[in-house]
Structure 1
């Protein structure tokens, strides 16, 4: 079965490798994700070497259909996040 990674498993890994307690490892993870989130919220790019790049992408306003009523509607423009994997990560995934 494939490995599943979430905040809890990341916390466990930090606890084992760096002798941190659970609250310290959770704080480290929260700080990392907060830094990435605040960077993206300000329109920046989060580029993590050997992993990939997160950046804001603006989706244009477009026409759509409400699936319940089948009415035509306009979907407003909005920002979304794009992830581009690094070549190192791509190579690891294709071994």
Structure 2
């Protein structure tokens, strides 16, 4: 399901226009991104929890040559599904 299909499904389910549904989806995305940037956890009951996890710099291996490769530190988004999805 892509964003357009999600908007259509929300509009149908909530009995609202696609324009209003798109505004709601965009607002949800903006609020989620902002919260994650601030290091907050986002919990959507019935769906799961999103959080930012820091991955430290490390040394990996190039599988083709076996040479050592530096992998820089970075932040990744982790999704933990709720029990209802498992």
Residue 69 of structure 1 and its aligned partner are, at CA, apart by 7.1
Q: Give a deviation string over 1:62-82, Cα, whole Å, max 9, x none.
A: 112456876422111100011
Q: 2:34 aligns with which of 38, 51, 69?
A: 38
With 61-70 and 20-29 compared, the bigger mean Cα shift is at: 61-70
Q: CA RMSD in A?
A: 1.8
> Which of 13, 19, 23 lines up with 1:17 in the alignment?
13
Segment of structure 1 superposing worse, 69-78 or 54-63: 69-78
Total equivalences in the alignment: 86
Q: Deviations over 1:37-67 (max 9, x none)?
A: 1111110000111111000111111112456
Question: What's 1:93 paired with?
Answer: none
Following superposition, the deviation at residue 10 of structure 1 comes to 1.3
Q: Which residue of structure 1 aligns with residue 49 of structure 2?
A: 53
- Structure 1, gaps ≥5 residues long: 91-95
Scaled by the length of structure 1, what TM-score is found?
0.77
Cα distance in 1 for partners of 2:84, 2:17 equals 31
